[in-house]
Amino acid sequence: MNMKTTHTFVEIIRKMSHLHIVVGTLFVATIYVSFCNLAFAESSFLHVSDYTVSLFGKYLCYALLALAVDLVWGYCGILSLGHGAFFGLGGYAMGMYLMRQIGDRGVYGNAELPDFMVFLNWTELPWYWAGSSSFLWMVLMVFVAPGILAFVFGMLAFRSRVSGVYLSIMTQAMTYALMLAFFRNEMGFGGNNGLTDFKEIAGFSLQDPHTKLGLFVVTAIALAIAYWVSNYIVKSKLGAIITATRDAESRVRFVGYKPEYYKVWIFVVSAMIAGVAGALYVPQVGIINPGEFSPLNSIEIVVWVAIGGRYTLYGAIIGAILVSYAKTRFTAIMPEAWLFALGGLFVLVTLLFPKGIAGALPGVARRFGLDANTNDNKTNKNNAQSEEQGTLKAPRAGGQ
Amino acid sequence: MIVDKAGTPITATDNVQPDTRHGVILYVEDVSVSFDGFKALNDLNLYINDGELRCLIGANGAGKTTLMDVITGKIRPDTGKVNFGQQVDLLQLDESEIARVGIGRKFQKPTVFEALSVYKNIELSLAGDKGIWTSLFGKLTGEQRDRIDEILRTIGLTNEAFYMAERLSHGQKQWLEIGMLLAAEPRVLLVDEPVAGMTGQETERTAELLTSLAGEHSVVVVEHDMAFVRSIARTVTVLHQGSVLAEGSMSEVQSNPEVIKVYLGEDSGEDSGDDNSEGYPSESGEEYIEASSSKEG
Amino acid sequence: MRRFISVLFCCLVSWYAIADDDVNTKDSTAASSSIDSELIELVNQLPNTKLNKMQPLVENIAAIKSHKTREVLQILLAGDLYYLKSDKTLVNAQKQNDGNYQLTNILTDEALAPVKKRAIRKIRSNNRLRSAIRSFIAKIDLTDDDKSTRYGAVEQLLEKPSQETLDTMRSLLPLEKDADVANLMQTVLLIEQLKHGKIDEQLSAVAGLKSSLEPVVLNTLSALSEELSASEKTQEQEQLLTAMSKAIATIESKRSNYKFIENVFFGLSLGSVLLLAAIGLAITFGVMGVINMAHGEMIMLGAYTTYVVQLVFPNLIEYSLLIAVPAAFVVTGLVGILIERGVIRFLKGRPLETLLATFGISLILQQLVRTVFSPLNRQVQSPEWMTGSWQINPVFSLTFNRLYIILFAIMVFFTLLMILKKSSLGLHVRAVSQNREMAKALSIKSDWVDAITFGLGSGIAGIAGVVLSQLTNVGPNLGQAYIIDSFLVVVFGGVGNLWGTLVAAMSLGSINKFLEPITGSVLANIIVLVGLVLFIQKRPKGLFPQKGRAVD
Ligand SMILES: Nc1ncnc2c1ncn2[C@@H]1O[C@H](COP(=O)(O)OP(=O)(O)OP(=O)(O)O)[C@@H](O)[C@H]1O
Ligand SMILES: [Mg+2]
């Protein structure tokens, strides 16, 4: 490469916003994985195995979930320790649909009732299972179920101005209560075992590698859309308002906004994104059970975001993928060490890198001359505005 | 929900026109606030005329900030009435609704949105629809841009427009907060200690700004800097232990025996001339009434 | 305040005394083991006595006061008394699986070589003799020096009375000095009277039984009244029936009252556990403003300390808790100080970051325990004095472990309150928590105060762990189960208010225990959680909110 092409290359990258970079990377990665999965024989070293495809699909779901948490935590200062609840609800909505798709192929061969209901001697579907066999209904519920929970919880909590640590603990109690509830057989969601043994989704067999690849691609698209939406939100005036709410909620009130409704709104949007993540996750791993509601799971999401760097959308994604990848590797090599590593990561990141990986990135980018903000002319409006959106400020963790 | 006196709701987009036929825009009547038995406001009565510039003085702990908290809805009084014009009962509204009907406030401790740029700070404060969907999809109109630029010029932060607010100095933050107040175009401005931390020259500019605002807006200023008060005040209200002690022009108030007794009765020797901003002649100790603190509790 | 504590202390001491009493009486019966020579002589006559001459001999044996007497009679009654054909030694013979007999000398208790059936012969008895023996045994028990033996004997009579023993008891009743035993005897007789007496006797029996809570009384009364109401009645019977139903109603309302008290007791004991778990948090969170998610793991460490103490001193199980409480306090306190110095102090004023970092620590501690002690649950023993219960009446008893836990929790609470209110440490802690800079300026060593406060909170969590080790399995996840509850208690009570924590813990415990019988424990848990969430909406600052301008 000669000097000139290098230069233009640098120029292009400089001009790209992180929206382009993230969506572009996703696009390239998806094409690459799909191509290598389909085009190369299993023996080829370029081949990407079906297992890996599913694994990546799982990571992308996590990334989606992390994005949801970052929206409320990084931008609005609501540290939710209960986002697993929304993920779980989305997952259960999908799980119910998949259960109904089994039809009479279950162990008991009952066309109407899922196996566990037959096992419990139930004779008919509970009312809340109505409609669960419809794909469209499922899609609707994936948004509505987490949305309603978030709305009710948010209305109650934010309107009475519960915030900070109290709120975090309440979210944790929420997911904990849901976990206890879903463990009960009488709830009609399969109790301990949850929902599993799925056969097909919208007519495609879940055992078929192509379906798996399809799910992976759908997840990637969902992530790209969610990223675009989130990016739009945080760049809008609404984004500025929620950030202002994070730092000085009462001041926002005196300016004439009702921060509680803004919080509810962003909380609901975030819950819906989490719900979608859960729904995409379930067919790829083949099971949903109450363990998804455990407080530990929710806290793990927060770690992803903290490590990746909150208050940047791409940070959340990087964090989710890296930490999950590390977890996969660790648990394969030395399972006992994983909790040590995770715990250590927590402590180190909060102590040493409060801005997370994304906080360290601009420095790296500057070193290679790739950062748009390196030119000093700050009075230029566009430049300055991108600085504002840029990631330079490490937000304090919440509205104290 | 905002309701007028008859109980009919007024939506937020309606430009609530307070009924000021009696020339009074803010009625504060028999208001009492107590904290654990301590009366921060004690049967306080205060009427602010439409378009007037009123100065509020009083020792530390006299209840000035508490009064503003009551008017802006941050604190609910135990008893009393607070009305905006004749028809709007402020006690029925919450903070954001009060802000939207047209009462703006600058805090004693400057509070701006630190993680946002100066420009965004003002943009958020602009008068207009404060609903969620407008915030999400709305774009700035050219008119609004001009308005923001104008305000930036007024507060002298044009060059800092795209700085994060956290980078501003204390005085600049004071200005920014005043700018945010201007952007909201309120009918009534409550300004708590606007010149604390400003240089003499800036103090002068603030004085000019506030005086020019009066007329179109009603302005209530709390300030300990007596020279500043003297330079802007037409009417001065003295608060003491949560109620109004005296009201009138600066010289009237100064010669009021009650005021002298309260402020100078005990420790008149204390003179805090060092606090005096340059550009204003230092006068006798009597001017600096804040020197005698009558805080109790 | 001081008086209250001293009263508490007295209570505690007297409990120890009672517990000791039990042990002592057992010892004394075991000690007097020299066998009366008269008894030996009489017993040795047994093989040579004909069946029809047995009764007087047995009566003579029964008249001898010795612990052996009862044993011999018991064996005879069970049909296990044999003698060796060779030398007429009296033995207790038990048939083994291989058909041989296992022998024990009944007088010396020494075990003899097993023999074939041929080598021994049974001391025969008949129905009359056996019923006589039964009443002898009853008499022995009823005249025993130990009150609880007498009580037990009467209780047995209550279950299945026989005519002779009833007669024996009737004769003994005037001699009985202990009121409890006498009352119970009275009850037995009244039931007898109720069952078999004439109608006016029955009526007076009902009047006498009205205040008894023995289940048998209620059963008898209901059975009788059912029987009565089914058949034709005379006027007097009608009267009896109403008297009985009144009595039943009285008894049942009393029972439900006691059920209520029992629920309160259970609630308080659960509340005490919650209090112990939460109070350390109330200090670190409420006073210092530090969110310690590793608090649950401090509790767990305390529980493991108990386990280790018992491992190291296997002979001192009785005292293990007394050793474990200070040990756990020190261990977890030190760990707490380490955490504060190593991590938390760098995160001052950033509560959510603190939350994350301490959560990381909690994961590490859990894994550490898993690696060191295995992921399986460990068994921690309970000392003798923690087991058993205090039977207040037939339907109401308080288990000692719960009782001790309540008292202990309250003691810890007030000690802590004293420390924070009265000591200079408390003053410094409050000063630092309210205005760190100013406190520094007044040359309070704020760093030191932070470390000590955090150590104190953690140490108390450790003590809670010792208590929990007596109630649940000790495993790496022990703490997790309590962390959410603890936080809720603190938040419910109002942060920074120890009294609030006390009230919150006790009321949450009680609510839980009252719901449990109605809804089942899981649902009770959920209801409490949801209720709390709703409560926090209504009163975000808890039951006893902290006041002041700095709060918002
Ligand atoms: N939230 C609160 N809780 C308890 N006391 C309060 C609270 N707010 C105000 N006070 C008390 O009410 C009194 C009046 O306070 P206020 O802030 O209104 O005084 P001020 O006139 O503004 O004084 P300064 O000139 O120092 O600003 C003070 O004594 C203060 O201690
Ligand atoms: Mg003030």
What tens digit of pLDDT does each residue of A63-77 get? 999 999 999 999 999
Residue B76 beta carbon below 6 angstroms from any ligand 1 atom: no
Within a domain: B86: no
Residue B196 lies in a domain: yes
Q: Are A318 and A357 in contact (CB under 8 A)?
A: yes
Q: Sorting pLDDT into bands at 50, 70 and 90, what band is B290?
A: very low
Q: What are the extents of the domains in chain C?
A: 33-142, 269-392+406-538
Which of the pair, A268 or C473, is modelled with greater confidence?
A: A268
Of B74, B124, B132, the CB nearest to A255: B124
Average pLDDT over residues A159-168: 81
pLDDT of residue A276: 97
Summarize the confidence of residues A143-147 as an average pLDDT: 97
Give the closest residue (by CA) to ligand 1 atom 30.
B61
Which residue is listed with tokens 């039951």?
Answer: C543
CA distance C359 to A350: 11
Confidence of residue A94 (pLDDT cuts 50, 70, 90): very high
Taking CA–CA distances from A233, the nearest residue in chain B reads B136
Average pLDDT, stretch B184-210? Answer: 88
What would the pLDDT profile of B121-145 be if each residue is shown by its tens digit? 999 999 888 889 988 998 889 999 9
Min mean pLDDT across A196-200, A380-384, C535-539 is at A380-384
Please report which confidence band the pLDDT of residue A15 belongs to, taking 50, 70 and 90 as the band edges: low
pLDDT recorded at residue B294: 37
Structural domain total, chain A: 1
- B60 within ligand 1 shell (Cβ under 6 A): yes
Is the overall model pTM greater than 0.80, yes or no? no
Give residue C271's pLDDT: 93
**Which residue range is the domain that position A134 belongs to?**
56-202+226-399
d(CA B70, ligand 2 centre) in Å? 13
The residue with greater pLDDT, B118 or C131, is B118
Higher pLDDT, B98 or C549: B98
**Over pLDDT 70: what percentage of chain A?**
87
Cα(B63) to ligand 1 centroid in Å equals 6
Q: Please tell me the distance in Å from A345's CA to the nearest CA on chain C.
A: 7
Assess whether the C-beta atom of B96 lies below 6 angstroms from ligand 1: no
Is B42 inside any structural domain?
Answer: no
pLDDT band per the 50, 70, 90 thresholds, residue A2: low
Q: What is the pLDDT of residues C449-471, one digit of tens each?
A: 889 889 999 999 999 999 999 88
Instruction: Give the H/E segment covering residue A380.
Output: none
Cβ within 8 Å, pair B132-A385: no
Which of B116, B132, B180 faces A262 most closely, judged by CB atoms? B132
User: Mean pLDDT throughout A226-232?
Assistant: 95
Residue A25 lies in a domain: no
Q: Write the CB contacts of C472 (distance below 8 Å, at least 6 apart in sequence).
A: C478
B3 located within any domain: no
pLDDT bin (cut points 50, 70, 90) of residue A395 is very low
**Chain C closest-CA separation from residue A399 CA (Å):** 10
Q: Report the chain C residue with the minimal C-alpha distance to residue A249.
A: C552
Q: How many domains are there within chain B? A: 1
Note down pLDDT in tens along chain C; length 552 residues: 455 455 444 444 444 444 444 444 444 444 344 567 777 888 888 887 887 788 888 888 887 777 778 888 888 888 888 888 888 888 888 888 887 888 888 878 788 888 888 888 888 888 888 888 887 887 787 777 787 888 887 877 777 777 777 777 777 778 777 878 888 888 888 888 777 778 777 888 887 777 777 777 888 888 888 877 777 777 777 888 888 888 888 888 888 888 888 888 989 999 999 999 999 988 888 777 788 889 999 999 999 999 999 999 988 888 888 999 999 999 999 999 999 999 998 888 787 788 888 888 998 999 999 999 988 888 888 888 888 888 777 778 888 888 999 999 999 999 998 888 888 877 887 777 777 777 777 777 778 888 988 999 999 999 999 999 988 889 998 888 788 888 888 888 887 788 889 999 999 899 888 888 888 778 888 888 788 878 877 777 777 776 555 444
Which residue in this structure is represented by tokens 């089914």? C230
Summary count for chain C: helices (H), strands (E): 21, 7
User: Domain for residue A271, yes or no?
Assistant: yes
The Cα–Cα gap between A74 and A389 comes to: 13
The mean predicted confidence, pLDDT, of chain C is: 81
Q: What is the pLDDT of residue A363?
A: 66
Q: Which residue has the higher pLDDT, C74 or A232?
A: A232
CA-nearest residue, atom 25 of ligand 1 = B60
Distance B163 CA to ligand 2 centre (A): 29
Closest-CA residue, ligand 1 atom 28, reads B61
pLDDT of residue B215: 84
* pLDDT tier for residue B82 given thresholds of 50, 70 and 90: very high
Question: Is the minimum distance from the CB of B58 to ligand 1 under 6 angstroms?
Answer: yes
The pLDDT value recorded for residue A38 is 83
Is B84 among the domain residues?
no
pLDDT per residue as tens digits for the range B243-259: 898 898 888 888 888 88
CATH of the domain at B141: 3.40.50.300
Q: Considering only CA atoms, which residue is closest to atom 29 of ligand 1?
A: B61
- Given this model, what pLDDT does residue A4 score? 64
Give the residue, by CA position, lying nearest to ligand 1 atom 7.
C549
Q: How far apart are the first and last CA of chain C?
A: 33
Chain pair A-B, CB pairs under 8 angstroms: 98
Residue of A nearest to C339 (CA): A347
Tell me the chain C residues in contact with residue A177 when contact means C-beta distances shorter than 8 Å.
525-526, 529-530, 533
A384 band by pLDDT with thresholds 50, 70 and 90: very low
Alpha helices, H only, C125-211: 127-142, 147-159, 163-172, 179-196, 199-209
From residue C353, give the alpha-carbon distance in Å to each of A148, A262, A392, C63, C344. Answer: 29, 24, 18, 80, 9
- Chain B residues lying within 8 Å of A265, measured CB to CB: 132
Q: Are A255 and B103 in contact (CB under 8 A)?
A: no
Q: What is Dmax (Cα atoms) for chain B?
A: 61
Q: Measured between alpha carbons, how far is C356 from C375 in angstroms, rounded to an integer? A: 24
Question: Which atom of ligand 1 lies at the shortest distance from residue B295's CA?
Answer: 29
Atom of ligand 1 nearest to the CA of B63: 18
Strand partners for B135: none
Residues, CB within 5 angstroms of ligand 2 (ion): B 65, 108
**C532 contacts chain A (CB < 8 A):** yes
Share of chain C above pLDDT 70, in %: 92
State if residue B277 touches ligand 1 by the CB under 6 angstroms criterion.
Answer: no
Residue A1 has pLDDT above 70, yes or no: no
Within a domain: A2 = no
Residue C50, SS3 per DSSP:
coil
- Each residue of B165-186: pLDDT tens digit? 988 888 888 889 999 999 998 9
B35 within a domain of the structure (yes/no)? no
Strand B38-49, strand B24-35: pairing? antiparallel
Handedness of CA C232, C237, C239, C245 (dihedral sign): negative
Q: Which pLDDT score is estimated for A3? A: 59
Q: How do the residues of chain A divide into helix, strand and coil, expressed in percent and rounded to 5?
A: 75, 0, 25
Task: Say yes or no: CB of residue B44 within 6 Å of ligand 1.
Answer: no
List the beta bridge partners of residue C112.
Answer: C103
Identify whether the C-beta of residue A141 lies closer than 8 Å to the C-beta of residue A93: yes
Q: Any idea which ligand is nearest the CA of B67? A: 1
Tokens, residue A298: 């929710």
How many CB atoms sit inside 10 A of residue C370's CB? 17
Considering every ligand atom shown, identify the ligand nearest to the alpha carbon of residue B56 and give its number. Answer: 1
Tell me which of B36, B60, B107, B108 to substitute to probe ligand 1's pocket, judged by most ligand atoms within 8 Å of the beta carbon: B60
Query: A336 to chain C: nearest residue by CA?
Result: C367
Write the ipTM.
0.80
Question: What torsion, rounded to 10 degrees, do the Cα atoms C437, C290, C468, C407 define?
Answer: 40
Residue A29 within any structural domain of the chain: no
Beta strand spans in A216-361 (E) = 287-288
d(CA A76, CA A243): 5
pLDDT confidence of A334, banded at 50, 70, 90? confident
